[in-house]
Amino acid sequence: MFIGHFTEEPWQKEDWPVEWGSGVMAVSNAEYDPVRASNLYHRYIDEKVYAEEMGFDGIMVNEHHSAPFCMNGVANVKASILARVTNKAKILLLGNILPIHDDPLWLAESLAMIDVISRGRLIPGVVRGGGSESLTHNIPPHYNRERFEEAHDFLIKTWTTPGPFRWEGKHFHYRYVNPWAVPYQKPHPPIWVPGTSSRETVEWCARHRYPYIMLASQIDLTQQMYQVYYDTAREVGYEAGPQHLGFMFFFHVEETEERAIEVGRTLTQGVRSPYDPGAQRPKPWIAGPPGIATKSARALRRKMTAADSSGRTRAGARATFEDQVATHGMVVGTPDSVIPKVRYILEQLRPGTIIFRTGDGAMDHESQMRTLKLMGEEVMPKLREIADELGLPGPYDIDPMTNEPVTAMAS
């Protein structure tokens, strides 16, 4: 079992107008107060350092652009810092938005340096990104998947092939690839991929045997996506297992149930991700510019997220805090009460990787530290026992590339 920690690092401000929502491509950066920002950045780094101390296996960092709900415009800045200020935890980038880089050699160089400085603790995950990432960097959305795949192939080649070599692709061109920094981990750092409900992404992931981390907070949708992974794996000729599958969910734990509910509720307040249940979605033409999804993917997603007979969408667009707690989208409670709930998730999904999303939304630093402490002292040790009992190896127990036990780690 691999247990990760994630905070989206939202902007926090008491008087953020409700109609500004997530702020994605909607709020001027004139609202960005750098003094507040520096305090927030350091607070989030402090919390990550503490999460490592409490025993998390990985610290996840992500990235969004022109997006107040995620202060990491450049996740690699944060990953660089973590490479030096932590020393055991994996640095889980989920991930770099490959298609929006015009020159992926910068990524190959940056990520290699970060992996080396961290002495092999980097997991450089890759994503395609939502429409707003393409719009802000003015990158052609209609080549999103092509650029994703070509940049991925380029990174892997750069990390595994002694230079110099030439690369004449469709979107990227180099005549002398030979950066003086290659990763610490051999043959290359493990690639993980997060996702919500793109079938094409799950299939791509399964074909590469990369762990797939489902970010949705819905058990049944996640089961369907995992099934796509299992099916694709069989087509490709291997058996997928827990080491290939991950699940992220909101979490808050306190000494009393009452306090947990009261404070946990702040996870659904403040400047929130437009991808979260109950949050306002970005405008459709911002979230999905022409060509970013294929016609069949568009149709499939429309079907998967359609409202059921009760009028609730499966993506839970209108889910309240109570709804989410009731459906295991959020796990909130005392150390004793959360264990069976997480156990339920582990039994239902059988993931080898779980990522706790904590301290997000409008939650304050003290509450985040309290929950991390309880997780380290009481929750995680028990979860590891349950994972052993259920037979849920993580990708550092069973190598997803070979399905062989991991004996000696590269780091």
List the interface residues with another protein, window 254-283 (CB under 8 A): 283
- CB 320, min distance to another protein, A: 28
Which SS3 state, helix, strand or coil, does residue 355 take?
strand
Q: Which two tokens stand for residue 350?
A: 């059988």
Nearest to 115 by CA among 94, 160, 84, 157: 84
CA distance 221 to 314: 8
- CB 198, min distance to another protein, A: 18
The kind and range of the H/E element at 91 are strand 90-97
CA distance 341 to 164: 52
Residue given tokens 């973590």 in the structure block: 82
CA distance 221 to 197: 8
Nearest to 292 by CA among 113, 97, 56: 97
* Interacting residues with another protein between 27 and 66 (CB under 8 A): 28-30, 32, 34-35, 37-38, 41-42, 45, 65-66
Strand spans (E) along 170-310: 173-177, 193-195, 212-214, 245-253
* Interacting residues with another protein between 219 and 248 (CB under 8 A): none
The kind and range of the H/E element at 64 are none
Nearer to another protein, 26 or 219 (CB): 26
Q: Which two tokens stand for residue 339?
A: 């264990």
- CB 142, min distance to another protein, A: 5
Nearer to another protein, 83 or 332 (CB): 83
Contact segment (CB under 8 A) with another protein among 159-167, 202-210, 226-234, 304-312 equals 159-167
Nearer to another protein, 139 or 225 (CB): 139
- CB 43, min distance to another protein, A: 11
Contact segment (CB under 8 A) with another protein among 25-33, 213-221, 244-252, 260-268 equals 25-33
Q: Which two tokens stand for residue 302?
A: 């429309």
Under rule CB under 8 A, residue 88 binds another protein: no
Residue choice 55, 68, 282, 361 for contact with another protein (CB under 8 A): 68
- CB 108, min distance to another protein, A: 9
Residue given tokens 């595994």 in the structure block: 160
Work out whether strand 245-253 and strand 165-168 pair parallel, antiparallel, or are unpaired.
unpaired
Residue choice 102, 336, 377, 389 for contact with another protein (CB under 8 A): 102
Q: How many residues bind another protein (CB under 8 A)?
A: 74
- CB 315, min distance to another protein, A: 21
* Interacting residues with another protein between 282 and 321 (CB under 8 A): 283-286, 289-291
- CB 130, min distance to another protein, A: 14
Contact segment (CB under 8 A) with another protein among 179-187, 208-216, 362-370, 400-408 equals 179-187
Nearer to another protein, 103 or 235 (CB): 103
CB within 8 Å of 238: residues ≥ 6 apart:
209, 403
- CB 362, min distance to another protein, A: 17
Contact segment (CB under 8 A) with another protein among 78-86, 316-324, 362-370, 374-382 equals 78-86
Long-range contacts of 362-366 (CB under 8 A, 24+ apart): 362/12, 362/266, 362/267, 362/269, 362/270, 362/271, 363/252, 363/263, 363/266, 363/267, 363/270, 364/266, 365/43, 365/46, 365/47
- CB 98, min distance to another protein, A: 13
Residue choice 50, 105, 280, 401 for contact with another protein (CB under 8 A): 105
* Interacting residues with another protein between 114 and 143 (CB under 8 A): 114-117, 119-120, 135-142
CA distance 67 to 137: 13
